[in-house]
Structure 1
C-alpha cells in the first residue's frame, strides 16, 4: 500500500461511538449482519472524514438509540449506495469504495490485473457519445509489450463492438481477461478504422515501475535532465532516488519532470521527490495537514507538519540536485501527489508548468477496512493486521480525510494548476516519450535554452477529454498512520 506522511496515533486512546449516548454504537438484532458493511463505513467516516461536520448523517449526535441507528444503516441495502447517498459530501469528487480491500491495496502499491496498455479516452462523433482511445505508453514486461501496439495508436472498438458511453467500462475494465482492440487512424481530425486488430491479455500481479524514463541532454551548453514519473508508488522510492543519482552524476543543471500521466499516490514519495529536486534541509517545511474540525482541535502543530527529507524510508541518503527552478509537464491526468509537488515546491522553487491544466485534487485520503480494534487508529488499514479485519467484510473505503497546505498556507487549487506555457498533446503528433523532439519535452528545452531548433510546437487540442485508464486503477494520495502522538482522544 502507498505510504504517506506517517501520522500514527499509536499511543492514544480513541473511543468511538455513534452518539453522545454511551448506550449506542453496536449493531444487533434481527438482520444486523446484513448491515455490517454500512456500520463499518459510518463509524470510520464519523471519525476521519474531512467533511464530517458538513454531513448531517455523520453528526456525533445523529442517533438517540440503537434502533434509530440500525434503521438508518438498513435504509440502503447496497453498501455502495449507502456510501454515495448517505455519507459522501456533495462537493467530494474523489472518495471511493472497493468491495475487495486486497485488490485495492495491491492497486495502491502499483500491482494490478492489467495487460500493460496505458491509454486515454475521448468522446467523439456527432453526439459525443462514441469513444475512442489512444495509447499513451506500454508498461514494461507486460502482455502489451510483446504485441504490435505502440504509443500514438488509436482504437475505436473492442471485440468488434464500437466503444461508447454505455459499454466502455465493461469492454475495457470488465472481468474479461482477453480482448481484441479494433484499431483506427486519425488524419486531420478524422478517425477511421484501419482493419488492424490487437489481442491483449490481462495478467494478475503486474507491477509497474513508475520511474519510466531517465535521460540527460547536453544542448547549447545546458545539461538538461528528464524524468518521466508515472505514479507515486512508495515501493519504488529507492529506484527514484537512484534516478536522481544518475542525473546528479550527469551534471544536470536543469530538470524537466514529466508528470503528464501521473494521477498521484504516496504523499511521502512526493516529499522525497521534492527533496531530490530542491533540498535535503530538514528545517524547511514541506506541508501542513488540515483535518476535520474535531481531529484538528486535538493534533498539535508538530503533529500536523512535515519537512523536507534527507533520507529515504530505507535510510538511503537522498540524491538532491539542489535546484532553484524546475520544469513540470502536466495534463488533466496530473493529480493528487503530482499537484502537491507543484504546490509544496512553489514557496522555494520557480516551478514552470508546461502542458495543460492539472486535475485539481488537493486532498489526501486513508485506506479504511473493518478493523475497529486497531489501537489509536481504528479502521485504518495496515498489512500486519489483516488477520484482525472482520472476515465477513472485505469492503474498503478510501475517503478524503484532509488537505495539505504548503509552507505559506496555500491549498486552494481545486480548479487545478493552469500551465505557464500551454501546449496540449496532439494526437497526430504525440512523439516518442523521452526524445528531445517530443513536443512537450521540446517546448521545455526551448524554454530552458531559448533555442527552438527543429522542434514542431503545433497545438491541436482534442475535443472532450474524457478520462485516463489510470482513473480506473485507484492511485490516490494515501497515508499510513505511523508517527507517535502523545495524546489522549475521547471522540464521543
Structure 2
C-alpha cells in the first residue's frame, strides 16, 4: 500500500491534467487520454519518447488536439513505445500491449483462456524443401483437444485441408473451430496419414502445476516438477507439490520450465523460497522503475524478499490464501529450459544464482528481464479506483527492469551447461524418466556429465513458431500493486 500511495502522489504531481479536470476530457478521446497519461506516469522508457515528455504539451488543449489525431487508442499506444527496447527479440511483437477487453486479460493471468487445448511448435521440413509442419508438444487437461484424443507428439501438416506455411500458420490456428490433418514424422519430412480431428475453442482453466513426480535413481531421490505459468491462482497447488517433495525427503530437485513464459513476480518469489528456505528475509530481486518513480520512492519498497509464507489477497484486499511455505533448504537446483522459458522463469534462475548452485539443461532461454503492470482507466489507474470508466480498455506497459541481489540480469537469456533440444520425432511422455530431456537431467545429477553429441536446434528448429505467441500474456512478467 505504501508503494501505491507513493506512486499516486507521483501521478497527481506530474500528469498535466488533474483528476478534478479529467472529467472535462472530450468523450471521443477518453481512452486516448487514459493511454497518454498512464504511459507518461509509468512507462519504463518514458524519458526516451519525445511525445511522452512532461514538457511536450503546454496546456490541455494542445494535448487534446494531439490525441484527436488517433481514432484508435491502440494506434496511439503503439506509437508511444520506445521500439529499440520494446522488441529486441522479435520485430513483430512488443513487450507492452493494450487490450480492449481487460476481463480476458485478467483471465489469462489466472490461467483461463479460449483455446482448443493444443500447444504447438512450428518446424521446417528437414530436407530444405520449404515445407512446414507443426507438432503438439502439450495438451491442456480438460480441453477439447484432450477430450478428443490429441496427444503430445502428433504431427500436423494441414488445417481445413490447407497446407501449412510460415505465412498462414497463425491464421489457420486462430479460428474458433478447425480440422487438423495428422501426418507421420518420416524423419522430419512428414507425410499425411489421412487422420483428421475437428477441434473447437472453449474457455479452459489450466493448472500450471502440470506434472509432479518423485523418481528414485540409485541413492538419489529426485523431485520433478513441470511448471508452466507463474499464476497466483495456483500458488496453493505449487506449495502442495513441495509438501510432497519435502515428505519424500528428496535429495535433488528438477524444475521443468521449458514451456513457462512467465507470470507473477510474487509467485516467482514464492517458488524461490520453496526451493530454499535458508534465506528468509534476504533479497530475492529488486525492481528499477522509470526515473520519476525512482525519484520519489523508497528503494526498500521496490524489492522482493525470500519469504516463509504465502499471503495472497484479491483486488479488494481480502485474503484468499495464507499458508506456510514448504521449503526444501536445497543448495542445488536443476532447471530444464528452452527458448520458451522467459520472464518470471528467468527471474527465478537469476535470483537464486547468488545463493545456491543453479544448473540448467536444455537450450538458451528467451532473455526478458523487464516487467509490467495492468493500468485501468480510473482516477488512480486501478481496477478498484474511483471513477472507473465503463469501457474495458486496459494497458500492460513495461514499467520495470528486474535484477538479482548483485544487480544482474540476463537480457540475452541463460545458456545451459548441458545443451539439448527436443526432437519432434522422439518427444517422450512428460514426467516419465525416459523422456529425453528429463532423462538427460537425471544423468547430469547422477554423473555430473555435461557433454552431449550435438544440438538439434541448429539443424531443424531455427527459427520456430509457437502457438503461445498469439496469447495476450505471452512471455509476460508482472507485478501487482494491491
Query: Same fold by TM-score, threshold 0.5 exceeded?
Result: yes
Aligned to 2:294: 296
Aligned mates of 1:60, 1:396 — CA distance in 2: 22
Counterpart CA distance in 1 for 2:42 and 2:290 is 7
- 1:92-491 mapped onto 2 (5 Å cutoff): 92-93=86-87, 94-123=95-124, 131-174=132-175, 176=176, 178-204=177-203, 206-279=204-277, 281-313=279-311, 314-371=321-378, 373=379, 378-381=380-383, 384=384, 388-391=387-390, 393-411=391-409, 413-450=410-447, 459-461=455-457, 462-475=460-473, 476-482=476-482
- Cα deviation for residue 335 of structure 1 reads 0.6
Q: Is this contact kept in 2: 1:16–1:43, CA < 8 A? A: no
Structure 1 portions without partners, runs of 5+:
483-492
How many Å apart are 1:122 and its aligned residue? 3.2
* 1:84 equivalent in structure 2: 78
Q: Give the deviation of 1:142 after TM superposition.
A: 1.4
Larger RCO: 1 or 2 (CA < 8 Å, sep 6+):
1
8 Å contact from structure 2 (residues 274, 328) kept in 1? yes
Q: Does the aligned pair in 2 maintain the 1:120–1:135 contact within 8 Å? A: yes
Cα gap change, 1:239 to 1:21, in 2 (>3 Å): closer
Would the alpha carbon gap of residues 65 and 8 (structure 1) be closer, same or farther in structure 2, given more than 3 Å must change?
Answer: closer
Distance 2:29 2:207 in 1: 39
Quickly say closer, same or farther: Cα 1:220–1:83, change in 2 above 3 A.
same
Aligned residue for 1:419, secondary structure, equals coil
* CA–CA separation in structure 2 for the residues paired with 1:24 and 1:244: 50
Q: 1:128 to 1:111 in 2, by over 3 A?
A: farther
1:426-480 CA distances to partner (integer Å, 9 max, x unpaired)? 111111110111111111111111189xxx9874222323232223223321221
Deviates more, 1:192-201 or 1:105-114: 192-201
Counterparts in 2 of 1:104 and 1:23: CA distance versus 1, 3 Å = closer
Equivalents in 2 of 1:23, 1:433: separation in Å?
Answer: 53
Q: Structure 1 residue 188: deviation in Å?
A: 2.1
Taking the aligned partners of 1:63 and 1:259, their CA distance within structure 2 comes to: 46
**Is the 8 Å Cα contact of residues 3 and 297 (structure 2) preserved in structure 1?**
no
Instruction: Render the CA deviation track for 1:190-220: whole Å, top value 9, x for unaligned.
Output: 122222111111112x110000100011111
Distance in 2 of aligned mates of 1:296 and 1:128: 53
1:59 to 29, 35, 53: 53
- The worse-fitting range, judged by mean Cα deviation, of 111-120 and 341-350 is 111-120
SS in 2 for 1:465: coil
Q: Distance in 2 between matches of 1:20 and 1:254?
A: 55
CA distance in 2, matches of 1:344, 1:379: 30
The whole-number CA distance in structure 1 between the counterparts of 2:262 and 2:287 is 17
Q: Partners in 2 of 1:406 and 1:315 — Cα distance?
A: 26
How far apart, CA to CA, are the structure 1 residues paired with 2:389 and 2:32?
13
Q: How does 1:36-51 map to 2 (within 5 A)?
A: 36-51=30-45
Q: Does 1:9 align with 2:5?
A: yes
Q: Hey, what's the Cα distance between the residues in 2 that align with 1:269 and 1:35?
A: 37
Could you tell me how far 1:77 is from its partner in structure 2? 2.3
Give the direction of change, closer, same or farther, for the CA distance of 1:330–1:26 in structure 2 (3 Å limit).
same
8 Å CA contact 1:332, 1:356 repeated in 2: yes
Q: What is the distance in 1 between the residues matched to 2:130 and 2:289?
A: 39
1:217 alignment partner, SS class: strand
Structure 1: distance between partners of 2:454 and 2:15: 60
Q: Is 2:10–2:292's contact at 8 Å kept on the other side of the alignment?
A: no
Distance 1:228 1:78 in 2: 41
Measured in 2, the distance between the counterparts of 1:160 and 1:242 equals: 45
Contact 2:40–2:53 at 8 Å: present in 1 too?
A: yes
Contact 1:19 1:64 in 2 (8 A): no
Partner of 2:317: none
Tell me, yes or no, if the aligned pair for 1:118 and 1:135 is still in contact at 8 Å. Answer: yes
Provide the alpha-carbon RMSD of the alignment: 2.6
Post-superposition shift, 1:146? 1.3
Structure 2 vs 1, CA of residues 28 and 17 (structure 1 numbering), >3 Å: closer, same or farther?
A: farther
- In the TM superposition, residue 415 of structure 1 has moved relative to its aligned partner by 1.0
Q: In 1, Cα distance between the equivalents of 2:15 and 2:126?
A: 53
Please say if residues 14 and 41 of structure 2, whose CA atoms lie closer than 8 Å, have aligned partners that are also in contact: no
How far residue 240 of structure 1 moved from its aligned partner, in angstroms, is 0.2
